[in-house]
Structure 1
Amino acid sequence: MKQIFKFIEKYFFIIILLAVVVSLIYPNAFNWVLSEYNGINILNLLLSIVLFTMGTTLKVEDFVNVFKNPKEIAVGISAQYIIMPLIALTLANVFSLNTALTVGLILVGTVPGGTASDVITFLAKGNVALSVSLTAVSTVISPILTPLITLLLIGNQINFNPIDMFISIIEIVIIPIVLGLILNYRFPEFCEKLKYYLPAISSIVICLIVAGVIGVNKQAILTSSAIIMLVIIIQYFLAMLLGFVVGYLAGMDRKQIITIAIELAFQNSGLSTGLAKTHFPSLSQATVPGALYSVWQNFAGSILAYVFRRYVH
């Protein structure tokens, strides 16, 4: 059984590509992902599962590390919530994206770092402890910064309630993480055993989310995918490049620079998709950038991790 879960974890980028192909061939097969059951939003429930699994891998010590490495954390978090949103806004304007795609792209830029960054950092021989701390801190402060920055960037283009978004992030992100953290604190041995399975479970959930969003928006993606996919690729590589620049200018060592670059480029794209569906229901295409970014960051990230591991010393 462990071998199956390890296989899923190791070849996640291939599985997510397969999910994309299946969702394009059989788009209705994953409609349930974006539906509701007894008033429960399935997409947000799936996101909560991913964040809960993240919580079970965290310990109080991970947050204590923030105070041990204040400079690195400050640089990483500042880059996360300044550079990424500005990249998204700039690309949306340069490519004259419509309102829905602009909203989706902005949300990709304003959400916290994704948990996959920790795995890619490990594979790339970066500083895993720093990556975990950055992901945890950016996630914890996201209920405040994500709605606030989103409001500043697109509040004059479309109406939405930042308070409602704040509440959504608390429900989707903070509560599951806290529950996972408590479980790990009370039952550390049990959570240690879970670590063998959780990355694969998270991978499967992310594949379902991506397949659901792409299936529902098949026509919109096929008619606009060339431009938005190009934008997503540029956004990813700009983030990676600027992450290297920021880390270098901050005087960090090689492992820390790699970590900052990866952390900046890897976003919680699933959360951006969930927020787009929940708070911009009239803009169905707003969920597309998050789904496409999830596919691309995991595919490109796996390749870059190999390159970093083999050739960046």
Structure 2
Amino acid sequence: MKRIFKLIEKYFFIIILLAVAISLVYPNSFKWVLSEYNGINVLNLLLSLVLFTMGTTLKVDDFLRVFKHPKEISVGLIAQYMVMPVLAFSLAEMFSLDAGLTVGLILVGTVPGGTASDVITFLANGDVALSVSLTAFSTVISPILTPIITLFLIGNQIHFNPVDMFVSIVEIVIIPIVLGLILNYKFPDFCEKLKDYLPAISSIVICLIVAGVIGANKQAILTSSAIILIVIVLQYFLAMLVGFGVGYLAGMNKKQIVTVAIELAFQNSGLSTSLAKTHFPSLTQATVPGALYSVWQNFAGSILAYVFRRYV
């Protein structure tokens, strides 16, 4: 059984491409992902499951590390919440994206780093401890910064309630992480055993989310795929280049530079998709950038991890 889960983790980028292919050919196959059962939003529930698994891998030391390595953590967080949103907004303006795609792209830029960055950092032989801390910190402060920055960038053009977004992020992100932390604190041995299975479980859940969103927006994706795909690829690689530049200017070592670059390029696209669906329901294409970004970052990241490990 453990071997199967390891294979799922190893070949995640192939599985997600397969899920995307199925959702495009049979768009209703994953329709349930975007539905509600007894008032419970399935998409948010799935995302909370991913964040809960992340919480079970964290310890208090991951948050205390900021006092041991303040420069690296601070540089990474500043770049995360200053560079990424501005980059997303600039690309949306440059390519004259419509309102829905603009909102979706900006949300990809304003959400915290994704948990997949920790796995890719490990595969790339980067600083895993730094990656975990950056992901944890950026996630914990996201209920405050994500709504504020999003409001600053699009508040004058598109109305939404930042307080409601704050509440959503607390429900989807903070509560599951805290529950995971408590479980890890109370039952550390049990959570240690779970580590062999959690990456694969998270990978499957992310595949379901991406497939659900892409299936529901098949027509929108096919009609605007060329432009938005170019923007997504640009956003990813520019984020990575900025990460390299910021890390180098901050005087970090090679492993830390690679880590910051990966952390910036890997966004919590599942969260951006959930926020788009919840807070911008009239903009149907707002969920598209997050779904496409998830596919691209995992596909490209798997390849780049090999390159970094071998040549950097």
Superposition TM-score, scaled by structure 2 size: 1.00
Partner of 1:151: 151
Mapped to 1, the partners of 2:229 and 2:33 lie a distance apart of 22
Partner of 1:29: 29
Mapped to 2, the partners of 1:173 and 1:55 lie a distance apart of 10
Q: How does 1:88-127 map to 2 (within 5 A)?
A: 88-127=88-127
Partner of 1:299: 299
Mapped to 1, the partners of 2:66 and 2:178 lie a distance apart of 17
Mapped to 2, the partners of 1:33 and 1:47 lie a distance apart of 11
Counterpart residue identity of residue 81, structure 1: Y
Mapped to 1, the partners of 2:105 and 2:228 lie a distance apart of 9
Mapped to 1, the partners of 2:192 and 2:245 lie a distance apart of 36
Mapped to 2, the partners of 1:206 and 1:226 lie a distance apart of 23
Q: How does 1:53-202 map to 2 (within 5 A)?
A: 53-202=53-202
Mapped to 1, the partners of 2:67 and 2:141 lie a distance apart of 16
Partner of 2:251: 251
Partner of 2:241: 241
SS of aligned partner of 1:113: coil
Mapped to 2, the partners of 1:14 and 1:151 lie a distance apart of 36
Give aligned pairs, total. 312
Q: Deviations over 1:194-242 (max 9, x none)?
A: 0011000000000000000000000000000110010000000000001
Q: What is the CA distance between 1:66 and its match in structure 2?
A: 1.1
Q: Deviations over 1:88-136 (max 9, x none)?
A: 0000000000000000000000000000000000000100000000000
Mapped to 2, the partners of 1:133 and 1:67 lie a distance apart of 11
Partner of 2:219: 219
Q: How does 1:267-282 map to 2 (within 5 A)?
A: 267-282=267-282
SS of aligned partner of 1:262: helix
In structure 1, list runs of 5 or more residues that go unmatched: none
Q: Deviations over 1:124-163 (max 9, x none)?
A: 0100000000000000000000000000000011000000
Mapped to 2, the partners of 1:97 and 1:78 lie a distance apart of 26
Counterpart residue identity of residue 13, structure 1: F
Counterpart residue identity of residue 241, structure 2: L
Mapped to 1, the partners of 2:310 and 2:16 lie a distance apart of 24
Q: Deviations over 1:58-87 (max 9, x none)?
A: 001111111100000000000000010011
Mapped to 2, the partners of 1:237 and 1:83 lie a distance apart of 13
SS of aligned partner of 1:157: coil
Q: What is the CA distance between 1:41 and its match in structure 2?
A: 0.4
In structure 2, list runs of 5 or more residues that go unmatched: none
Counterpart residue identity of residue 158, structure 1: I
Partner of 1:39: 39
